[in-house]
Amino acid sequence: MRKSLWLWHALLLLLATAPLFAKTAPVTLYTTSFEPFTAYVAGPKHAVGGIVLVHDWFGVSPFYTDAAERLAKMGYLVVAVDLYGGHRATTHQEAGALLGALRDDLAGREIDAAIKWVGDRTDKVATMGFSMGVKHVLAAALRNQSVRATVLWYGETPKDPHKLRDLGGPALLIVGSRDGPSAADSALGFSKAADAAGVGAEVFIYPGAEHAFAQPLFNQGRTYDPVAAEVAWHLSEGFLERRLR
């Protein structure tokens, strides 16, 4: 028991001191209100399309950086925003504090600026969010008609078709069947709302998976499911291929 605790603390120390990204470059972007913020860019100069990523409540984590670099290897121009301004969490307590201090209005302006930056470089733009990031990328997709597709991993989604009428392209929602008592009902409600709004949505419910099944930091890794995560990636990659190429 003592050895496992030591290994866990060593892992947290490694995460706290490791470089944020191995193959990406930090850039300073500005909102329309001239507020500077940092984002991380990866991918080829002449990309087939662009993707704006928004992290979960842990912020910039190894899972998030791997996601950016995985998509960049597929040929996309990827901009991963950091809504926490350089702060990172490795525990639920730290993540909760960062989330509690997050200003939704500022987060929205930063994501909008990232979408514009990508849109100035490619005419095919998608957004992708994880958990906490889902509501932010979906709201941004509703505000920005340049967004052709939106990928949502286990996050809060509306069931009202009126709230989806302005979506410029289809969405993919992936959740675990054990993500709360009504995960399946919520996903189905989102699908029906998207159909009624005329925008369409693809929904996949992975059997037996918990919330944030792809994030090893969540629940100290107890609910991490690498098989479910890889399936979610294959679904996401196929969806983006169809929508951006």
Q: How does pLDDT run across 155-190, given as a tens digit for each residue?
A: 999 999 999 999 989 999 999 999 988 888 999 999
Question: What CA–CA distance (Å, rounded) separates 26 from 24?
Answer: 7
Give the pLDDT mean for 202-208: 96
pLDDT confidence of residue 182:
83
Confidence of residue 15 (pLDDT cuts 50, 70, 90): very low
Question: What CA–CA distance (Å, rounded) separates 223 from 209?
Answer: 8
Give the pLDDT mean for 9-18: 34
Question: What CA–CA distance (Å, rounded) separates 219 from 92?
Answer: 8
Question: What CA–CA distance (Å, rounded) separates 152 from 175?
Answer: 9
pLDDT confidence of residue 142:
97
Residues in the chain, overall count:
245
Provide the percentage of residues in the chain whose pLDDT is more than 70. Answer: 91
Question: What CA–CA distance (Å, rounded) separates 153 from 57?
Answer: 13
Rg (CA), the chain: 17
Q: Which of 19-23, 185-189, 190-194 is the least confident region?
A: 19-23
Would you say residue 9 has pLDDT above 60?
no
Residue 239 near residue 172, CB atoms below 8 Å: yes
Confidence of residue 245 (pLDDT cuts 50, 70, 90): confident
Alpha carbon separation from 183 to 6, 115, 171, 209 (Å, rounded): 35, 29, 17, 11
- Per the DSSP assignment, residues forming a β-bridge with 51 are 78, 126
Q: Where would I find the H helices in the chain?
A: 2-17, 62-73, 92-100, 104-119, 132-143, 183-197, 226-244
Residue 117 near residue 88, CB atoms below 8 Å: no
SS3 label, residue 164: helix
Residue 39 near residue 114, CB atoms below 8 Å: yes
Confidence of residue 23 (pLDDT cuts 50, 70, 90): low
- Please give the model's pTM, rounded to 2 decimal places: 0.89
pLDDT confidence of residue 109:
98
Give the pLDDT mean for 33-55: 95
pLDDT confidence of residue 12:
36
